[in-house]
Amino acid sequence: MRAEPETAIRPLDHLALTGADEAPALVLREGTLNYKDLRDRVGRLAGWLAAQVPAPGARVATWAAKGALTCLMPLAAARAGLVHVPINPLLKRAQVAHILADSGAALLIGTPARLATLEPGDAPCLAVAEADAMTAALGADPLPPSAADPQELAAILYTSGSTGRPKGVMLSHANMWLGAESVASYLELGPDDRALAVLPLSFDYGQNQLLSHWFAGGSAVPLDYLTPRDVVKAIERHDVTTLAAVPPLWVQLTELDWPAETAAKLRRLTNSGGALTPDLVGRLRALFPDARLFAMYGLTEAFRSTFLDPALIDTHPTSMGKAIPHAEILVVADNGEIAADNEEGELVHCGPLVAHGYWQDPERTAERYKPAPAASRYGGMAVWSGDRVRRDADGLLYFVGRRDAMIKSAGNRISPAEIEEAALASGLVAEAVALGIPDVRLGQAVHLVVRAAPTASDAVEALPRILMQELPNFMQPKQIHWRDAMPISPNGKIDRTGLYAELTA
């Protein structure tokens, strides 16, 4: 018997109904929308969308920077009975053409400069300039709040794996509603909270920056920043209380001089897209002593899985924490049984946050989405993540490594994270990526790509000596590659796939 969450699940567009009429909801360059404005704009955009694409369940794509269109579309498309396909504005023509063809989008709304890069046949659908769409929507008759079945699809988010083209993860109204409620609950968000939305809105947690704060009646400030200092300025200007970021941005932010009064505005810091290191935790805690730091783990296929109670971040800086509300996290050993304490196993995510699989890809869906273990209280389909974790006696989870990212060298299974943590703990490097590069003798040889810390003048000579002291022989990098800057993928993470391609070229 499948257990259902003990909460009311509503259509996604009902998030626009939560805040007080005059309370701020969305801070844009052209002005602030209060909740009354938000409801009106969502209704009118939904009315225009329904007139352009009357077929229920049709896909509508957006390809634009953060602004009114990209922020309103998750709710407006849902209200119109359509499925939103947000495309990362950093993607290029070939990737966008694949997403449009794969999703079968009936409408593409984007900035003219981006639309102009598409070639004939790339967008086999109606394409409308962002400004034209928003102007037309202002004159449309608004649609009332929807009565959609929460299990209907609301969005398809395209995510890149280690190989192959991006695949579309299907999210229902319920997935996104419960994700908003879950995060708002454990972050303890309130109507006076304001998020600085720096993560891409095509990213699951990027959208949740908006949705969780709207669930709580709070507000959001979308920002496409050029430099990390733009983030500091925006926090100061807009009295931001919540900042979500990925480790590469946290590293850059900790290298800046922050006015004490600006740092003090932040009540919570939330991390996604990669693990925090003990060194980075220490720097963030020193820089923002009054803010609660939430270490989190998630995957697009199930949104978010775990968070660490901020009260434990100083004593357990490498832990992923425990399951978030509405998630059940099991550690399954290689024999299929629930792993014992401190035994390594695969992280399996069960419950109503589990997405509906990959769009039009039953083969890859069957690889990742499988029946929940018998021990699950939810049952149904679960996401078998491929991530290797262990659970300690207190129930705290620790990341070991990805099954497909483990380096296998001379018969040894090596976690890239362990090598990276040793390099970062030296204090000589600010960022580190360990990769397994094909090697005739070893199978794979360890290569380490690093960016030197700003104050480490002797890093090139000193790092190999420290690694020799801290790591066993089989973990020693065959080669260390020094970079002035790390390549960043469109979702803001260090581009491991690009580095691998570069080193194997």
High-pLDDT (> 90) share of the chain, %:
82
* Cα Dmax for the chain: 69
With beta carbons less than 8 A apart as the criterion, state whether 345 and 334 touch: yes
Most confident of 280-284, 401-405, 491-495: 280-284
- pLDDT tens digits, 416-473: 888 998 899 999 999 999 999 998 778 899 999 999 999 888 999 999 999 998 887 8
With beta carbons less than 8 A apart as the criterion, state whether 484 and 459 touch: no
DSSP string, 197-239: E-S-TTSHHHHHHHHHHHHTT-EEEE---SSHHHHHHHHHHHT
Kindly indicate the confidence band of residue 2, based on its pLDDT and cuts at 50, 70 and 90: very low
More confident residue, 56 or 403: 56
Q: Round to whole Å and give the CA distance between 429 and 467.
A: 12
Kindly indicate the confidence band of residue 94, based on its pLDDT and cuts at 50, 70 and 90: confident
Please report the pLDDT score of residue 412 as a whole number. 75
Alpha helix stretches (DSSP H) within 331-446: 362-368, 416-425
Continuous segment of H or E residues that includes residue 34: strand 31-34
**Mean pLDDT in residue range 347-368:** 96
With beta carbons less than 8 A apart as the criterion, state whether 421 and 429 touch: no
What is the end-to-end Cα distance of the chain in Å, rounded?
51
Summary mean pLDDT of the chain:
93
Q: Residue ranges per domain, the chain?
A: 405-504
> Would you give the distance in Å from CA 471 to the centre of its chain?
31
Continuous segment of H or E residues that includes residue 382: strand 381-391
Q: Round to whole Å and give the CA distance between 151 and 304.
A: 18
Q: Which two tokens stand for residue 123?
A: 């967008």
Please report the pLDDT score of residue 6 as a whole number. 59
More confident residue, 318 or 159: 318
Please report the pLDDT score of residue 5 as a whole number. 57
Of 163-177, 188-202, 274-288, 375-389, which range is least confident?
A: 163-177
With beta carbons less than 8 A apart as the criterion, state whether 155 and 359 touch: no
Dihedral of CA atoms 38, 40, 44, 46 in degrees, nearest 10, equals 50
Q: Round to whole Å and give the CA distance between 255 and 278.
A: 16
Between the alpha carbon of residue 28 and those of residues 34, 72, 203, 207, 272, the distances in Å are 11, 12, 20, 16, 24
Of 185-199, 376-390, 406-420, which range is least confident?
A: 406-420
| Burial status of residue 263 (CB atoms within 10 A of its CB: 0-12, 13-18, 19 or more) | middle
Amino acid at 486: M
**What's the full length of the chain, in residues?**
505
Task: Choose which CATH entry (3.40.309.10, 3.90.660.10, 3.30.70.1350, 3.30.300.30) describes domain 405-504.
Answer: 3.30.300.30
Please report the pLDDT score of residue 418 as a whole number. 82
pTM of the model: 0.86
Residues 6+ apart with CB under 8 A from 477: 419, 434, 446, 447, 448, 464, 467
Dihedral of CA atoms 114, 116, 119, 122 in degrees, nearest 10, equals 40
443 CB neighbour count, 10 Å cutoff: 14
Residues 6+ apart with CB under 8 A from 171: 153, 154, 155, 156, 157, 204, 303, 355, 356
Q: Round to whole Å and give the CA distance between 489 and 265.
A: 29
Please report the pLDDT score of residue 149 as a whole number. 97
For residue 164, pLDDT beyond 70 = no
Q: Round to whole Å and give the CA distance between 463 and 426.
A: 7
With beta carbons less than 8 A apart as the criterion, state whether 499 and 479 touch: no
High-pLDDT (> 70) share of the chain, %:
97
Of 86-95, 246-255, 407-416, which range is least confident?
A: 407-416
**Torsions phi, psi for 31 (to 5 deg):** 140, 175
Q: Which long-range contacts (CB under 8 A, 24 or more apart) does 495-499 make?
A: 496/162, 496/433, 496/435, 497/160, 497/162, 499/433, 499/435, 499/449
Kindly indicate the confidence band of residue 403, based on its pLDDT and cuts at 50, 70 and 90: low
Q: Round to whole Å and give the CA distance between 215 and 455.
A: 43
Please report the pLDDT score of residue 1 as a whole number. 34
Q: Round to whole Å and give the CA distance between 431 and 424.
A: 7
Pairing mode, if any, of strands 292-297 and 268-271? parallel
248, 217, 243: which is closest to 24 by C-alpha?
217
Bridge partners for 41 per DSSP? none
